[in-house]
Chains A and B, each alone.
Chain A
Amino acid sequence: MREVHVKEITEAVKNLFLKANYELPKDVEDAYKKALEKEESPAGKEVLNLILQNAHVAKSEKVAYCQDTGVAVVFVQIGQDVRIVGGDLNKAIEEGVRQAYREGYLRASMVWDPVFERKNTGDNTPPVIHYEIVPGDKIKIIAAPKGGGSENTSRLAMLKPADGWEGVKKFILETVKLAGPNACPPFVIGVGIGGNFEYCAYLAKKALLRPVGKRHENPLIAKVEEELLNEINKIGWGPMGFGGKVTAVDVKVEMYPCHIASLPVAVNIQCHAARHAEIEI
């Protein structure tokens, strides 16, 4: 059993959220540069240029790329041969989030309770954490701050098996059409198909972590990703919804077996602030 101290995890989480909020990942930035070549709309091109400039300023001056520094979403893949020592893992992650948001001049956007008082918790805690147990003796942590504007436009449907691919596609396209200018395009669209109610939503979010511009290794899924991307970019929203060809720079689909009676589909809309950073401990 390899031992990892919680202090190391707090430190890692803190640094990941600082990095994610200040620096756009390279694959995402490259996708916007490519989009600039493809985009025909003058307003759309202008928005893409602003996005690239914004990324440059945020990174070089170490300020938040977007003022909505999001819900602190954390994916943790723990090797089954790792033993965590020195304290409570959940608390260690939460502490990393607290330090990043307080010390990094990031916005506190979490309120408790969600309905009545809605009082800001003051330090952007608690995070939303997804754990996964994997083989090996490493821990991989991915920080993915997610803004409210795009998250609000995400949707889930429990379709009927008879709805088939046409039904799935229609639901996805409708979701993107409705999201449009409100969710800060160009998007990366995360789609989860199959599993059950909660698992397809999880898959949709997890799909967003795959590098932009790379197709799924399963040829069936790769094909539907291509088809969806092509059709989404015919909707016409373009960058920031001012009209244009690039509404999304990529579509990521994950599938999972499902019940004979079900066809769950979840669409997680990722705005152009497609922020994530990761580390392996």
Chain B
Amino acid sequence: MAKEIRLTTPLTEEVISQLRAGDKVLITGYIYTARDAAHKRMTEAIAQGKPLPFDVKGQIIYYVGPTPPKPGEVIGSAGPTTSARMDRYVEHLLKLGLKGMIGKGYRQPFVKELLKKYKAVYFAAVGGVAALYREKIKSSEVIAYEDLGPEAVRKLYVVDFPVVVAYDIYGGDLFEEGRKKFAQLEI
């Protein structure tokens, strides 16, 4: 994790081409939340030719279901959820121009191939440090699927939201590279 890079959304292919697995990134701008149930609905909307709650082109989706805000606060605790559960939905969104995803954990190998193909990145956030991420979120607005409660789609404005590039467009893999440095046991 050598460099620290500041990015603003939306993302361009040029910016993405400079990112490498392990780079620390601070994201500023609007990002959108969606997790299992919202992905299911969005994919159904795509299949039926209906519009999505937001134009995904150049955007980042954050896999999160926050806790409710306390009175006077923007949002509750808001750390990443496990990304692998969204793997099956990824291609539909990448096809429409989605450029980034934030979540936790490793993903199925085909996701890495899709990122190469569609020139997009997967960022890892630190799972569980949700009270800290909450401080990086400056505004939050439910823009779709309100009935899903914590799984509704939210538009967030974040400032210097800290993530690490987990998978880049060159096949780099933060987790495998990290683990190999310390592995003394192969299972």
Instruction: Assess the A69–B67 pair: CB atoms within 8 A.
Output: yes
Closest Cβ–Cβ distance, residue A154 to chain B (whole Å): 13
Closest Cβ–Cβ distance, residue B91 to chain A (whole Å): 20
Is B100 an interface residue, CB under 8 A from the partner? no
A120 to B149, CA, bound (A): 7
A200 to B127, CA, bound (A): 28
Asked if A241 meets B150 with Cβ closer than 8 Å, knowing A54-B128, A184-B104, A271-B128, the reply is: no
Chain A residues positioned under 8 Å from B131 (CB to CB): 54, 57-58, 61, 63-65
Instruction: Assess the B183–A173 pair: CB atoms within 8 A.
Output: no
Contact of A184 among B1, B127, B175 (CB under 8 A): B127
A35 to B23, CA, bound (A): 24
Contact of A236 among B37, B134, B182 (CB under 8 A): B182
Is A68 an interface residue, CB under 8 A from the partner? yes
Instruction: Assess the B182–A240 pair: CB atoms within 8 A.
Output: no
Which of B9-17, B51-59, B76-84 is the contact stretch?
Answer: B76-84
Instruction: Assess the A67–B65 pair: CB atoms within 8 A.
Output: yes
Q: Chain B: residues with CB nearer than 8 A to chain A? A: 1, 37, 64-70, 76-79, 81-82, 84, 104-106, 124, 126-132, 134-135, 148-151, 164, 174-175, 177-185, 187
| Minimum-distance CB pairs A-B, first 6 | A243-B178, A182-B105, A236-B183, A236-B182, A234-B185, A184-B127
**15 residue pairs from A and B, CB less than 8 Å apart:** A58-B131, A67-B65, A68-B65, A69-B67, A107-B65, A107-B68, A107-B150, A120-B151, A184-B127, A236-B178, A236-B179, A236-B181, A240-B127, A271-B127, A271-B128
